[in-house]
Structure 1
């Protein structure tokens, strides 16, 4: 970690993928690149300041919840957060070919936590839901969680539908939490 801190200081708290070339890249998307710093930490670098600010605010806001990665620090265009060694819900479903009750309960817990922490978006994409090696559930890519008003998990349901698991998920929700299913029912197509 000291090597990374020296690198960040040398570059006045501004990082780029070129500067991070000696670190393992573990993620890349339109909003940034993620590099593993250690077994516990990673850094996400943002090309746009607006995206960086939104995600930093959401990470700070969500620190009281166990489903939000721990925030360890930040610079001018990056955050240092908890590295989650695990798999996405999307990969889990592709590998296991089954949506177990235990996993459905964890996803419902995650949605409850998003609401409990005060986020206005109670939804997550299947590729942004992670299960750690210990079985803990986490959500990443939080930039819209304080600005999007969505109480029905439409992104989650769309992703599950594409994978062929929407019906199975909803049947389990109906059995586990009938009132939640009724709340979602008008939005289910």
Structure 2
């Protein structure tokens, strides 16, 4: 029995290149909208439901397989349910590393090490981590790192170097004279140029 299927009946509308949420269950709270799905926190729980846009619903099954493969690893949310258009996983309280840069929150080397350990563990299970970026790395108040948005961890796909490139930039970030806080517009501009000219994970 699917306990959370009632929450998957989300209505979307397309406005040019943008997908908007127009209606959803009253027990849900919109948490964020990405390239292929909208994420809602289920009120009075520690869970989120990720509902995929029309045209992207096949990703629900792909991502569910990846979460099941990673089950038990401490750096990844647990999967509770999956359906044709959605998955239900842990709600992770914290800030993305992208938000940390905007707010000037120090990104400690220990956090980078945690990401490396998580990616290594995923590779040992036969996955190919890809498209690891600052928006899908969450730092909790306790100093733990979680990785989310795992659809591009599929087996056998081409390896990308995005995380290694981020680590090269991190070595510059750590220098004493470098700023530790950045404007969101500037970070978005850098990300756009990187995807366009260096590493587009959608290709």
Q: TM-score, normalised by structure 2?
A: 0.66
2:114 paired residue number: 106
Cα deviation, residue 19, structure 1: 3.0
Q: Does 1:34 align with 2:39?
A: yes
What is the 5 A alignment of 1:125-144? 125-144=133-152
1:125-157 Cα shifts (integer Å, max 9, x gaps): 11111112222211111111014332x6x2234
Q: How does 1:1-189 map to 2 (within 5 A)?
A: 5=3, 8-9=5-6, 14-17=8-11, 18-20=23-25, 22-37=27-42, 38-47=44-53, 48-96=56-104, 98-121=106-129, 124-147=132-155, 148-150=157-159, 154-158=161-165, 165=170, 167-168=172-173
What are the Cα deviations for residues 28-57 of structure 1, in whole angstroms up to 9, with x where unaligned?
112101100144111000122221121111
SS at match of 1:58: helix
Cα distance in 2 for residues equivalent to 1:134 and 1:56? 27
Taking the aligned partners of 1:116 and 1:92, their CA distance within structure 2 comes to 29
The residue number in structure 1 matching 2:186 is none
Task: Point out 4+ residue stretches in structure 1 off by more than 6 angstroms.
Answer: none
Q: Number of residues paired by the alignment? A: 159
| Cα distance in 1, alignment partners of residues 125 and 104 from structure 2 | 31
TM-score by length of 1: 0.70
After the TM superposition, which of the residue ranges 100-109 and 61-70 deviates more from structure 2? 100-109
Between Structure 1 and Structure 2, the one with more helix by share is 1
- The question of whether the paired residues in 2 share the 8 Å contact of 1:124 and 1:155 is answered with yes
**Alignment partners' CA distance in 1, 2:115 and 2:72:** 18
Identify, as 1 or 2, the structure richer in strand: 2
The change in CA–CA distance for 1:141 and 1:100 in structure 2 (over 3 A counts) is: same
CA contact (8 A) 1:59 1:71 kept: yes
Aligned mates of 2:84, 2:158 — CA distance in 1: 28
Change in Cα spacing, 1:131 to 1:117, as seen in structure 2 (3 Å) is farther
